[in-house]
Amino acid sequence: MSDYSKDCIGIIYGDGNYPKKVVQSCLDKKISCCVIFIGEICEEIASKVAFIQTKIGKIGSAIKFFHEHNVNKVVFAGAVKRPNFKELSLDAKGASWLLKLGKSIFAGDDALLRAVSDLLRDEGFEIISGTDLIGNIFVESGVFSKRKPTKSEWMDIKKGFEVAKTIGSLDIGQSVIVCEGDVLGVECIEGTNELIKRCVNLRKQKSGGVLVKTSKPQQDRCLDLPTVGLETFENLRSNGFVGLAVESGSCIVLDKDELIKKFDDFSMFFVGIDDKHGN
């Protein structure tokens, strides 16, 4: 892990629990950081660091804030809802960026994030991954729960891996739900939790099915890595799904020990897979 003790890290704080983990890790390691909340303010974090709350489009104020706090490295942490560019309120810098983004605003999330990160680099910032600041955030390949997938569930996992990689290559999404050989749904712009809800009534039976989550083949590891955690588990459990498979070394796993215990408590399975096992 790199030494960031001499840096000030600017954290673009989106939705979910992951950005909180990134900030807390900086604080624990005595790494200087400040936060830009895109959306709601997390009061727990706001009480500990310098921050502003702003909206997408107010780029000038964000860059000014980072420069005022001597930020040299920037982290994207957490999901940020894609804006309606036709209704976006822009400052002068935001209007300039919109012109530079060009056709990328009509592309997938990965392409858009890459374009935005390139513009931040042009402003003098280095883009780093929040995973560099948090240790033990991925899983290796293997079964981590007491319950192992059945032969047919392994076949569903394999199929889900292949489909997830395909939709990822098209910059569509990162998750797939498969049950008894049927692809019930693929993740689009709505996100994983809505995918789970959408697939509940598409099964041939009341329960069963696995969520498979992978990175995109062209994934920039500093941007939008797939993430699972206790919320993912609860949505799977409450909707009758029986397992979760994530790509080893490429999917952020939050609260790992507690998450595995939850899967064991409810006799569900949790596995890490790689290209060898997915194909």
The CATH T-level fold of domain 142-278 is: Cytidine Deaminase; domain 2 (3.40.140)
Q: Are 109 and 54 in contact (CB under 8 A)?
A: no
Mean pLDDT of 204-218: 92
pLDDT at 279: 46
How does pLDDT run across 137-165, given as a tens digit for each residue?
Answer: 999 999 999 999 999 999 999 999 999 99
pLDDT at 79: 79
Pick 100 or 190 by higher pLDDT: 190
Per-domain residue ranges of the chain: 8-132, 142-278
Query: Tell me, what DSSP letter sits at residue 174?
Result: S
Mean pLDDT of the chain: 89
- Least confident interval from 201-205, 208-212, 234-238: 201-205
pLDDT at 19: 93
pLDDT at 217: 84
In angstroms, the CA 200 to CA 185 distance is 10
pLDDT at 114: 81
CATH 3.40.50.20 matches 8-132: yes
Please list the residues that pair with 35 across neighbouring strands: 11, 51
In angstroms, the CA 128 to CA 118 distance is 12
Q: pLDDT-based confidence at 224, cuts 50/70/90?
A: confident
pLDDT at 105: 66
How does pLDDT run across 225-235, given as a tens digit for each residue?
Answer: 899 999 999 99
State the Rg of the chain over Cα: 19
The proportion of the chain whose per-residue pLDDT surpasses 90, expressed as a percent, equals 63
State the burial class of residue 205 (Cβ atoms within 10 Å of its Cβ: 0-12, 13-18, 19+): exposed
- Least confident interval from 67-76, 100-109, 163-172: 100-109
Q: Side by side, which strands form the sheet with 182-186?
A: 142-143, 269-273, 243-247, 210-213, 175-179, 182-186
In angstroms, the CA 199 to CA 25 distance is 35
How does pLDDT run across 237-266, given as a tens digit for each residue?
Answer: 999 999 999 999 999 999 999 999 999 999
pLDDT at 197: 95
- Taking Cα atoms as reference points, which of 149, 166, 162 lies closest to residue 269? 149
Residues 6+ apart with CB under 8 A from 3: none
Q: What is the pTM of this model?
A: 0.85
Q: pLDDT-based confidence at 190, cuts 50/70/90?
A: confident
53: which 2 tokens?
A: 């709350």
In angstroms, the CA 211 to CA 241 distance is 8
